[in-house]
Amino acid sequence: MDNSQIADRLDAFAALLELADANPYTARAYRRAAETIRGAALPVAELARSGRARELRGIGPGIEARLRELVETGEIAELAELERELAPDLVGLGRYLGLGARRSVEIARALGVRTADELREAAAEGRLQSVPGIGPKTEARLLEVLAADAEPRSRPGLLLGRAWQLVGGVAAALDGEPAGDVRRWRDSCEVLAVVCAASDPESVLARFAALPQIVALVEQGKRRMVGVTVEGVPIEVVAAESERFGTAFVRATGSPAYVAGLEPLPDAPDEEAVYRALGLPWCPPELREAPFRGEPPDLLRVQDIRGDLHCHTTWSDGRASVEEMGRAARDRGYDYLAICDHTPAVGAVRGLSADDVRRQGEEIAAANELLAPFRILRGIECDILPDGRLDLPGEVLVELDWVQASVHGGQRMPGPEMTKRVEEALRNPYVRCLSHPTGRYINRRPENALDLERVFEVALEEGIALEVNGLPDRLDLSGEHVREALQAGVEVVCSTDAHSVAGLGNMTLSVATARRGWATAADVVNTRPLRSILDGRRAGS
């Protein structure tokens, strides 16, 4: 089994552990292990066979035993038992239809059915009303949504990182290309699709239906199929004729509004040929939200980034040391990395006092001697207090190479007060950047009531950059707000907010989000060399 296949089985195990009401920390541990294994450079099967799996971060004795069982026998016995007990195809279909996992299992057991097809058959026979709690109205609704052409109940989209894992895994298994929302790098993905060039569509669709990620089928045609994961997430696969692959790829990538602005699409074997036939320049997927037929700008690329200006270490809530983070950043080809641990007012985790900041500075200096000419910058993610003051005094901040200010507590402060709070912090002479400016958590917490137009004005006056935070559940600024900031003349910083070595990989998400805001390399502070970062210290610092 390759790393991707192993990770898929661990993800499936985590999903079923959640359904079985297992300890939530256990399920999360398996999801983290799956993420680690997907990104591992070495074949994890070999590590597991040789008893070295625990060399990977986050792999403890329990997960190590499951890994060895999986690579030696081809399955995890407990996973197979959970699959028999919980009927993941019914759970996936139920979630797709808007039912909870437990309710789906209750219905399946009451009807004595084991598969999605058996559930449809029982419904057609009028047996749904025999299930406790299902009356005529509920039966009518379920019958309606069980129809192949029915729309599923709306649900929150998948976070971009998880959506890429899911769609990327399916695409790799089918030798296809990821499409839909993930290819446009939307922060919350609802339309997941894979497009394949296929002379034998039946074979492609059969392989798709057999994937471990797919537990039920809800639609099927000659060259198209929609499957559902155990979480109830639908994924479409299109098996296009080779001579029409480009046309299908453009259409499946979307957005619908953008594609409608190009119609009618010509038949073509690749995307470039589609655009040539339309007499248009090729358009990056990140810009395909609204109708657009113009010349796209030369967007920012990951390789333009010279350093990461926001990461954490074991000094606060990170999982790696200063040196470990520095080495990992250097290995990515960066010239510099700013260590920006928290300050005490963050509350939920350990924050650094003035003495801690100075002691950390000694550790950074020692690491720099080992890693030169790579440079670790002394930085801080300094909390903005409710009155706009910063959590550390100026005599400490003046010593640092990079200071960014953040709001953590008091997120629900009324708009005028929140705006005044942030404005006051941006006028502090030591601040260089405002981190995750709107404070949102995608699908969990809305943006703060912050007047961004006013923030842009003050940032421009004071020479402050705004962060595009690469954490998958933040991506803050959003692409829309990046474009507004750039139009206002404000520069941005693409950072990861990494809390681990693996977290540095979130630069891809940050850059993609900036690209959705039409950012070029010239708009981004950390595309510049180290000297520019250090020389950019504001007056007074």
Whichever domain contains 116, its CATH number is 1.10.150
Please measure the distance between the N-terminal and C-terminal CA atoms of the chain and give it in whole angstroms.
Answer: 55
List the one residue out of 215, 280, 208, 187 whose CA is nearest residue 506: 187
Whole-Å CA distances, 471 to 59, 390, 474, 506, 528: 22, 23, 5, 6, 22
Does 515 lie in the same domain as 376? yes
What's the number of CA atoms in the CB half-sphere (13 Å) around residue 112?
2
- Give the C-alpha separation, 158 to 172, whole Å: 19
Size of the chain, expressed as the number of residues it contains: 541
Does 237 lie in the same domain as 185? yes
pLDDT of amino acid 540: 39
Does 363 lie in the same domain as 321? yes
Does 469 lie in the same domain as 335? yes
pLDDT of amino acid 206: 96
**Average per-residue pLDDT for the chain:** 90
Does 111 lie in the same domain as 43? no
- Asked whether residue 541 is assigned to any structural domain, the reply reads no
pLDDT of amino acid 154: 58
Question: Which residue among 100, 121, 146 closes a domain?
Answer: 146
Does 483 lie in the same domain as 445? yes
List the one residue out of 405, 497, 401, 411 whose CA is nearest residue 459: 405
414 preceded by a cis bond (ω within 30 of 0): no
pTM: 0.84
List the one residue out of 41, 46, 43 whose CA is nearest residue 68: 46
- Give the C-alpha separation, 385 to 405, whole Å: 10
The predicted-structure confidence for 248-280, as pLDDT tens digits, reads as follows 999 999 999 999 999 999 999 999 999 999 999
pLDDT of amino acid 36: 85
Question: Which residue among 84, 107, 123 closes a domain?
Answer: 84
The predicted-structure confidence for 51-89, as pLDDT tens digits, reads as follows 999 888 788 899 999 999 999 998 888 888 877 776 677
pLDDT of amino acid 228: 87
Does 115 lie in the same domain as 79? no
Work out the burial of residue 282: count CB atoms within 10 Å of its CB; fewer than 13 is exposed, 13-18 middle, 19 or more buried.
exposed
* Torsion of the alpha carbons at 139, 143, 144 and 149, rounded to the nearest 10: 160
List the one residue out of 316, 261, 317 whose CA is nearest residue 292: 261
Structure tokens at 158: 């998948």
Question: Which residue among 254, 287, 320 closes a domain?
Answer: 287
- Give the C-alpha separation, 507 to 513, whole Å: 10
| DSSP notation for 42-57 | S-HHHHHHTT-GGGST
Does 200 lie in the same domain as 124? no
- Asked whether residue 153 is assigned to any structural domain, the reply reads no
What total number of domains does the chain contain? 4
For 505, the domain range is 302-535
Does 510 lie in the same domain as 454? yes
What amino acid is encoded at 263 in this protein? E
- Give the C-alpha separation, 353 to 335, whole Å: 28
pLDDT of amino acid 541: 39
- Asked whether residue 296 is assigned to any structural domain, the reply reads no
Structural element, H or E, at residue 376: strand 375-383
- Assess contact for 234 and 218: CB atoms under 8 A: yes
The pLDDT profile of the chain, 541 residues, written as one tens digit per residue, is 888 889 888 888 887 787 776 788 888 888 888 888 887 778 999 999 999 998 887 888 999 999 999 999 988 888 888 777 766 777 777 777 777 766 777 787 788 876 667 877 888 888 888 888 888 887 887 777 676 544 555 567 899 998 998 999 899 999 999 999 999 999 999 999 999 999 999 999 999 998 878 888 878 899 999 998 877 889 999 999 999 999 999 999 999 999 999 999 999 999 999 999 999 999 999 999 999 999 999 999 999 999 999 999 999 999 899 999 999 999 999 999 999 999 999 987 889 999 999 999 999 999 999 999 999 999 999 999 999 999 999 999 999 999 999 999 888 899 999 999 999 999 999 999 999 999 999 998 999 999 999 999 999 999 999 999 999 999 999 999 999 999 999 999 999 999 999 899 999 999 999 999 999 999 999 999 999 999 875 443 3
The predicted-structure confidence for 309-349, as pLDDT tens digits, reads as follows 999 999 999 989 999 999 999 999 999 999 999 999 998 78
- Asked whether residue 459 is assigned to any structural domain, the reply reads yes
pLDDT of amino acid 442: 94
List the one residue out of 111, 103, 108, 114 whose CA is nearest residue 130: 111
- Assess contact for 387 and 422: CB atoms under 8 A: no
Does 62 lie in the same domain as 31? yes
- Assess contact for 352 and 360: CB atoms under 8 A: yes
- Asked whether residue 292 is assigned to any structural domain, the reply reads no
| DSSP notation for 309-342 | EEE--TTTT-SS-HHHHHHHHHHTT-SEEEE--B
- Asked whether residue 151 is assigned to any structural domain, the reply reads no
Extract the runs of DSSP E, i.e. beta strands, from 77-200: 158-159, 177-180, 188-189, 192-197
